[in-house]
Amino acid sequence: MAAHGPAAAEAPRTGAPSADAPGRLPVPTVIGHRGASGYRPEHTLGSYQLALDMGADVIEQDLVPTKDGHLVCRHENDITGTTDVSAHPEFADRKTTKTIDGAQLTGWFTEDFTLAELRTLRAKERIPAVRQENTLYDGRWAVPSFEEVLRWAEEQGRRRGRPVWLHVETKHPTYFRKLGLGLEEPLAKLLRKYGRHRADSPVFLQSFEPGSIERLGRLVGSRRVVLLSAPASRPYDFTDSGDRRTYGDLMKPEGLRWIARFAQGIGPSLTSVIPTGADGKLGEPTALVRDAHAAGLILHPYTVRNENQFLPADFRRGTDPNAYGDSFGYFRALLETGIDGIFSDNPDTARLARDDFLKG
């Protein structure tokens, strides 16, 4: 498979996706954001399994380290809101205040726990006020290590007769490297162990820090995606090194060509693809899709959620912010821009939206 190009890893855009081509991804690709986090507590084996069962093409993991150097799947190293750690009196003295990428946080952090200690905790719903039904599953699953997820993916791949694709993010890599807990080397070691280190392996590696992606590119051949945050903000490794470029600069043609020197794709926010206006309604698409494709990059923007409060104003239905709006309409508007894939908390909705889009 080619290393570059807007559909380098995927099947042709025309026609329905085919399950008869093992190892190939349909375009647009449906990516289960932290699994099926609209229905299960995020980054649990239950969330990953449901996303796969719902038809997600790729399942996302966010990686942070433990005190003893293991990689575990949490959206943040602050586990206060996603585990029951506060209910464990033996860990009360671990609560602390830290500054991470310039933000001060108080809570419990993975780097202060060994893997064995983390395994005594149970995962819970991160936003219970929004997703009250998800709290039914609080305490059902532990915090998974990334190696555990790799073993799960291998087992599911054997059972299904096709690879289970993963989308793996390094979180706060500069912060952790300064603690002596660099993420890239142990991640590369695990990818090599499980045969996911080649250019044609069923994995994407992603980070909001371009330097982390460059480092990974020197360690493994796996496909790499630079995540892009708000245009006015800067990657933390740029802030740390004195590089004045912003994410907005990286979205310009020159910045995209620079990214294409060491990555195969970008992961922009939805509003960088189609902004919303002052009234909260959807505006006109930007040139980002065209410019990224011209640079030979795929686009996997993030993240569509079904609830009204996460949708543009013109796709909301009713007054309850936690009720579902017209996410199908929003998906269609995004897919019509030519993006190559999309993250969603609701993989079943995304899969139906993608199928509808391909049918015309």
Give catalytic residues, as residue numbers.
33, 75
The percent of the chain in helix, strand and coil, each rounded to the nearest 5, is 35, 20, 45
**Cα–Cα dist 31/300, whole Å:** 8
73 Cβ partners below 8 Å, 6+ apart? 43, 61, 62, 63, 143, 144, 145, 146, 149
Whether 42 contacts 82, CB under 8 Å: yes
Q: Which two tokens mark 174?
A: 């500069």
Written as one letter, the residue type at 140 is R
Q: Is the dihedral of CA 30, 33, 34, 37 positive or negative?
A: negative
Upstream peptide bond of 22 is cis (omega within 30 degrees of 0): no
Residues shown for the chain? 360
* Cα–Cα distance for residue pair 31/165, rounded to 1 Å: 9
For the record, the structure tokens of 160 come out as 């299904």
The b/e string for 329-346 (b: 16+ C-beta within 10 A; e otherwise) is: bbbebbbeebbbbbbbbb
What amino acid occupies position 141? Answer: W
Q: Which of 50, 82, 131 is nearest to 306 (CA)?
A: 131
Rounded to 5°, the CA angle 121-127-132 comes to: 100
